Amino acid sequence: MIKVGFGKALVVFFGVSVFAFGIFAIIPEKDWEPRIKHLKKLSADTTFAAERIEPEYLPIQSTGRLGAFYSCLTKYGGLGSRRMTRPNNGIEEWVILKLQDNTRLDIRINNGEAFFFSLKLYDKNNTLQAGSDLYAINCDMELLNKPDSDMHCEDKVLGNEIRPVCTYRPQQPPSQDDAKG
């Protein structure tokens, strides 16, 4: 029988843990979970109906198309990169959007900015079939029902990562002076 002292066992445990963490740190998180691939089946034209909005007074459209919000969703990152870019209002805000293919987007919000989400896949009988992990985003909720041309994204340093932060900025119609030009 091999006797290993507690100290050596502890060193081996921490060594293996650090090694495993290092391996998982270099594998892109987007490849860890096949359920997030369902996002690619959606589009800006995917319709939604807000199944639940908390608190109810949030200014979120109850029906429509994902619009530019979809483009922002595709810029997701691992949950470790989650950072809010707006002041924390201290209120738990969230919405569940039921999509046309019986998928649900569970979105957490702060001051109008979605900062993480998960996908839940349901069958025809509304039985949960699969749920994704949580993913970080920085998407203005006003991007729902808006064209991509109204979305403005900037790369910002959030924590230890550079993440796209996408806001609603309506495309300005050309002025009459420009038209005369």
Q: How is the chain split into domains, by residue range?
A: 30-180
Task: Give per-residue pLDDT as tens, 120-130.
Answer: 999 999 999 99
Angle at 121 between CA 31 and CA 163, to 5 degrees: 40
Q: Cα 162 from chain centroid?
A: 15
Calculate the average pLDDT of the chain.
81
**pTM, to two decimals:** 0.74
Type of residue numbered 92: E
Task: Give per-residue pLDDT as tens, 53-109.
Answer: 999 989 999 999 999 999 999 999 887 666 777 767 788 899 999 999 889 999 999
